[in-house]
Structure 1
Amino acid sequence: MIIVGVDGSPHARAAVEWAADDALRMRQPLRIVHAVDRSPYQIAKFPAAQWPDALVRGGEQALAEALAVARERQPSVEASTRLLEGPPAIVLRDEAADAAEVVVGNRGLGGFAGALLGSVSVHVAGQVRCPVVVVRGETDRRHDRIAVGVDDSPECEPALAYAFEQARLRGCAIRAVYAWYMPVYAFAPCPNDMDAIREAADEIINDRLERFKKEYPQVTVEEDVQAAHPVDALRQASTESDLLVVGSHGHGALASTLVGSVSRGVLHHADCPVAVVRAR
């Protein structure tokens, strides 16, 4: 099942269209979810339960509009709606327990507003085990290419698996981006040092891609190895891609609840939808 969070905003509509398309490609049912978050209105003297429930009515309207969008976009996809109460991050996390994918817009009016671009996003992308897609940038253009970040960490493998499967389903190419930092020395590095660094980078990306090239022989792969900050390299790749895929790299004592700085950076600056993929 594919879960999409909505709040009635134009960005949520784009997320529903994306989710409906992916549901068709992946042959998955679609569940449209709206979170009614009463916590900002819980005033002890005036309990929210006594107020006219505009929040619920607004949620019902958002769901009805989103369902109409999904059915218009992909009539053959099985689509349903759920109105749930609670903070958006918790609602989304609980709904995604058995999901194949979670989709949200990058901005909104409430409910899932900015769901993947603040503290909520860090929590969701760190806790949800399935891929989380943030629909941002231009979504109606076609480059027939998916960009994916490659590095030498274990978190890279699930991202590559998701990217190659999406490329197979879409019939498009893969651009595998490996960015490495220029070493900082007291003096400029000699040419032999730079050659060794480039050779090591080429070896890493070749090792990472070898298995997936064999499993997906129908997918054309472009290897992009460059000396640059990973966020800059991936953001540039996003300008010519339909989707950017990154692994989730959390660090420290709360690693399981965090996405890394590269994931956060591309979520804020990419020019196309971004998928954050964690290891299951």
Structure 2
Amino acid sequence: MNRVIVVGADGSAAATAAVEWAADDTARSEARLRIVHVVDRSPYETAKFSNPGPGDAVALSAESVLADAEAVARKRQPGIEVASELFQGSAAAVLRTHAGKAAEIVIGGRGIGGFPGAVLGSVSTHVAGHAHGPVVVVRSDPDTAHGEIVIGLDDYHAGEPALAYAFEQAILRASTLRAVYAWQPPAHAHIPESAHDLDEIHAARCWIAAGVLQRRRQQYPQVQVIEDVRRAHPVDALASVSAKADLVVVGSQGRGAIGTVMLGSVTLGVLYHARSSVAVVRP
């Protein structure tokens, strides 16, 4: 088992759901699970907290968080290999450093310290926007299964890693894969004098979607694929099908220099509006 799945734990309910999700995926993929907790001492720049020693309250609390997370994982999937590790620093930075070594990073949608009513936490948004490889933001109950994985299609080669990940998840779960390709007509397409034929445009988009899927369908013939081409904004289309999906997979074309710009507007929109867990796969 050379694959390692890394999950962030902080003692929150969202992180507990992420640990359960990661344990299930570890069992499905015959991987190893590594639970990571990060202590950020920057808010406690006093001698009592910044100089850890015997009986250090912050360290003791961190060890308790890891022990509880391990117990959750072992109870969820007794047969998996579980290890845990404590780090100090920024949670987002530590999880980013693990991205290149892990098969996937799993995090809760909002951890401790999140604003009431907030959909996403700053750590989940940052890691999803900067880490290379799959980052799963757990937003749904791991015990609820619909038997469907959703992939948001585009016609760029950079979306290939996301497509491969979606097919792999469909195989591991024995699920149907719904491939959603959303398109919007040109702003002037509804003008009577316009030469645009919306039916022709839709047919062309269907042809593009089929072409994007062709190689993977040949590679994974056992996966049942639903080609779902919609005249809608991509965020609206993916959010609408997310309620009956176990996971929504999106690529990210964002190339911004800082912050959530790295995600791209569609990916960020899906993270905020999807009702299921979301996997962001950056090339």
Q: Same fold (TM over 0.5)?
A: yes
CA contact (8 A) 1:12 1:108 kept: yes
Q: Taking structure 1 as reference, are residues 189 and 25 closer, same or farther at Cα in structure 2, changes over 3 Å only?
A: farther
1:49 maps to which of 43, 51, 57: 51
CA contact (8 A) 1:104 1:115 kept: no
Over the residues paired in the alignment, what is the CA RMSD in angstroms? Answer: 2.7
1:148 aligned counterpart, secondary structure:
strand
1:196 aligns with 2:219: no
CA contact (8 A) 1:20 1:74 kept: yes
Q: What is the aligned partner in structure 2 of residue 76 from structure 1?
A: 79
Task: Please identify runs of 4+ aligned residues in structure 1 that moved more than 6 A.
Answer: 113-116
Q: Normalising by the residue count of structure 1, what TM-score does the alignment of the two structures yield?
A: 0.90
CA contact (8 A) 1:7 1:110 kept: no
Deviation of the 1:189 alpha carbon = 6.8
Deviation of the 1:215 alpha carbon = 0.8
Deviation of the 1:105 alpha carbon = 0.7
Question: Matched residues in 1 for 2:180 and 2:69: separation?
Answer: 35
| CA offset digits 1:58-98 (Å, max 9, x no partner) | 21111100100111111111001101001011110122331
Question: Matched residues in 2 for 1:18 and 1:146: separation?
Answer: 15
1:244 aligns with 2:248: yes
1:214 maps to which of 205, 211, 218: 218
Q: What is the aligned partner in structure 2 of residue 171 from structure 1?
A: 174
1:90 aligns with 2:93: yes
2:245 aligned counterpart, secondary structure:
coil
| CA offset digits 1:146-192 (Å, max 9, x no partner) | 00000112232111100001101111100000111122118247585
Q: What is the aligned partner in structure 1 of residue 232 from structure 2?
A: 228
Range 58-67 or range 46-55, more displaced = 46-55
| CA offset digits 1:88-112 (Å, max 9, x no partner) | 111101223310010011112159x
1:178 aligned counterpart, secondary structure:
strand
Q: Taking structure 1 as reference, are residues 109 and 256 closer, same or farther at Cα in structure 2, changes over 3 Å only?
A: closer
| CA offset digits 1:102-151 (Å, max 9, x no partner) | 0011112159x999935544442233222000100333222110000001
2:265 maps to which of 261, 265, 271: 261
1:66 aligns with 2:66: no
| CA offset digits 1:185-219 (Å, max 9, x no partner) | 18247585212211221111001100111111111
CA contact (8 A) 1:149 1:156 kept: no
Question: Matched residues in 1 for 2:118 and 2:88: separation?
Answer: 16
Unmatched 5+ residue regions in structure 2?
none
Question: Matched residues in 2 for 1:32 and 1:170: separation?
Answer: 22
Question: Matched residues in 1 for 2:95 and 2:59: separation?
Answer: 17
Q: Percent identity?
A: 53
Deviation of the 1:46 alpha carbon = 7.5
Deviation of the 1:256 alpha carbon = 11
Q: Taking structure 1 as reference, are residues 50 and 58 closer, same or farther at Cα in structure 2, changes over 3 Å only?
A: closer
Q: What is the aligned partner in structure 2 of residue 23 from structure 1?
A: 26
Deviation of the 1:262 alpha carbon = 1.1
